[in-house]
Chain A
Amino acid sequence: GDSVTQMEGPVTLSEEAFLTINCTYTATGYPSLFWYVQYPGEGLQLLLKATKADDKGSNKGFEATYRKETTSFHLEKGSVQVSDSAVYFCALSADQGAQKLVFGQGTRLTINP
């Protein structure tokens, strides 16, 4: 079945450091790919998405490129802030009918001032 594997956390960085959170997937067909973010005590919010190969999703300084050849969708940010501390989830949706999201295990990110 479809699956998503994310970089094991937790990840701790200093403010203004470069961030990469790795995400790879296994899916039949051509899934859409997403990064969701969960701030402490809140629900999930969509951070960015890409719906076809070579698409780049971007939002709030975060970017991720849909790489079909490596089945990857790594999340990057050039300079992180304390306010970026959260849990980040990579997800895919491969079924336009049911639109079921399959999530990775989440990566907890802590940014220290």
Chain B
Amino acid sequence: DTAVSQTPKYLVTQMGNDKSIKCEQNLGHDTMYWYKQDSKKFLKIMFSYNNKELIINETVPNRFSPKSPDKAHLNLHINSLELGDSAVYFCASSQAGGAINEQFFGPGTRLTVL
């Protein structure tokens, strides 16, 4: 049973296209995240949702739009893809409230923009 799953695992596309990455968690968590890992392995948060509500938006271009249909899903839609969007995108989830809790990560989606 995969705790945090992402699809697709690999995505190769042309500049200017629009694409989506899906994320689902079966842990019953109420907070989900998107992180971007660049070619040098540097990881940076992009978005965080708590109970379908956006709580973190880290100066990400508005070509990136997260959507949370319910608290188990957080999808990432990217419009007008650029070369610089090539990266590995990780989804994560955690239980909010009280102490700072462990985040569980998905396996990542490697996006290559040609």
Instruction: List chain A positions with a Cβ less than 8 A from chain B.
Output: 32, 34, 36, 38, 42-46, 49, 51, 87, 89, 93, 96-103, 105-106, 108
Contacts and interface: CB of A to CB of B under 8 A. Distances in A.
B54 to A, nearest CB: 11
30 contacts: A32-B100, A36-B105, A38-B41, A42-B107, A42-B108, A43-B90, A43-B105, A44-B43, A44-B90, A44-B105, A49-B102, A87-B41, A89-B43, A93-B100, A96-B98, A96-B99, A96-B100, A97-B55, A98-B48, A98-B56, A99-B31, A99-B101, A100-B45, A100-B56, A101-B45, A103-B42, A103-B44, A105-B42, A106-B41, A106-B42
A99 B43 contact: no
Interface centre among A32, A36, A89, A99 (most CB of B within 10 A): A99
Nearest to A102: B45
Interface string B95-114: 01011111111111000000
Interface of B: 4, 31, 33, 35, 40-45, 48, 55-56, 58, 90, 92, 94, 96, 98-108
A22 B100 CA distance: 23
Nearest to A42: B107
Contacts of A102: 45
A99 B93 CA distance: 10
A99 B41 contact: no
A102 B33 CA distance: 13
Given A100-B56, A106-B42, A43 B107 contact: yes
B55 A98 contact: yes
